[in-house]
Structure 1
Amino acid sequence: MAKEKKYESELLITRIFSAPRELVWKAWTEPERVMRWWGPKYFTSPICKIDFRVGGSYHFCMQSPEGEDFWSTGVYLEIIPLEKIVCTDSFADENGNVVPATYYDMEEDFPLELELTITFEDHNGNTKMVLQHIGIPEGITQELTKQGWNESFDKLAEILE
């Protein structure tokens, strides 16, 4: 049943970055680069670990302006260099263990595991990046997630310039 729920809804965000595809790719795959843009406006990313290979995992920390840590983790399912990344996406604790959304005072029906697909393609000398976040509950949670991603991508656009 949980597997079915995971795919009920999706969030789709397309962004054009004024940077070569290789640089946008590195922003997703190199910890020191991810830490510069991960998280909404005013959030920081003090810790980022990436084992970038199919079957490898990531473990990111996003810190609020008030100093509250929000951890996420996932496993890389598919990697096509410079073209596509598919991975799971879950809330985690500081040790990388998957935790329910209630761990962060979010609603009970939030899926334990979501899926992210990020594609990259050349676009008139720039890079078109499409993010598909599958399983985000519709309504306010999806709107807040969309806002968070867009604020993160605004930061990414700044560091790519």
Structure 2
Amino acid sequence: MSETVPETSSIADREIVISRIIDAPRELVYEAFTEVRHLSQWWGPEGFTTTTRSFQFAVGGEWVFQMHGPDGTDYPEWIYWTEVVPAERIAMLHGEYRGDPNAFESVLTFEALGGATRVEMRTLFPTKEQRDEAVEKYHAVEGGQQTLGNLDAYITDGVRKSADN
């Protein structure tokens, strides 16, 4: 009995990969992803704000929140943490609500580069069509780049300066 392994191209057709180098130590960048007091300050694309309903950062924990768009539209969000390797890797299922059939998987990795950190966000959608819709309708690539840009600004302008004092 042979196991069916998806072809690489089928995964590539369903995936978005975004990365950024942030001029801060890996532990500090990781902390900004794992503590709600930080997440709520920078999460989301430019112009968006976040209201957290509940937050438990641990494998099996959830982050239930609402993103508020600059046009006043509210977006329900739900994240379920599936893997946590402190300061190295976070894996999650991300949808609009628990049990969302369109939820997608994301893996964040944190690579130390001297005093800086390379953050990579790999998002895998259930289908190519869902990935394409996220890219075309929701501007997922630009939104992801802006989100990591917001993280960079938050850490280098705020958190790191207060940590250095």
Instruction: State the TM-score bracket (shorter-chain normalisation).
Output: 0.7 to 0.9
The answer as to 2:154 corresponding to 1:145 is no
Q: Report the RMSD for the aligned CA atoms in angstroms.
A: 2.1
**Higher alpha-carbon Rg:** 2
- Count of aligned positions: 142
Any residues of structure 2 matched to 1:39-58 within 5 Å, and which?
Answer: 39-47=44-52, 49-58=54-63
More helix by proportion, 1 or 2? 2
Q: Tell me the distance in 1 between the aligned counterparts of 2:79 and 2:132.
A: 24
Q: Tell me the distance in 1 between the aligned counterparts of 2:16 and 2:43.
A: 18
Contact 2:52–2:63 (8 Å) recurs in 1 = no
What percentage of aligned pairs have identical amino acids? 30
1:107-130 Cα offsets, whole Å, 9 max, x none, are xxxx51210100101013200111
Contact 1:73–1:98 (8 Å) recurs in 2 = no
The answer as to 2:26 corresponding to 1:21 is yes
1:60-107 Cα offsets, whole Å, 9 max, x none, are 221012322112112111110110001101113xxxx455xxxxxxxx
- List alignment gaps of at least 5 residues for structure 2: 1-5, 157-165
Secondary structure, in 3 states, of the residue corresponding to 1:35?
helix
Q: Tell me the distance in 2 between the aligned counterparts of 1:79 and 1:139.
A: 28
- 1:72 counterpart residue number: 77
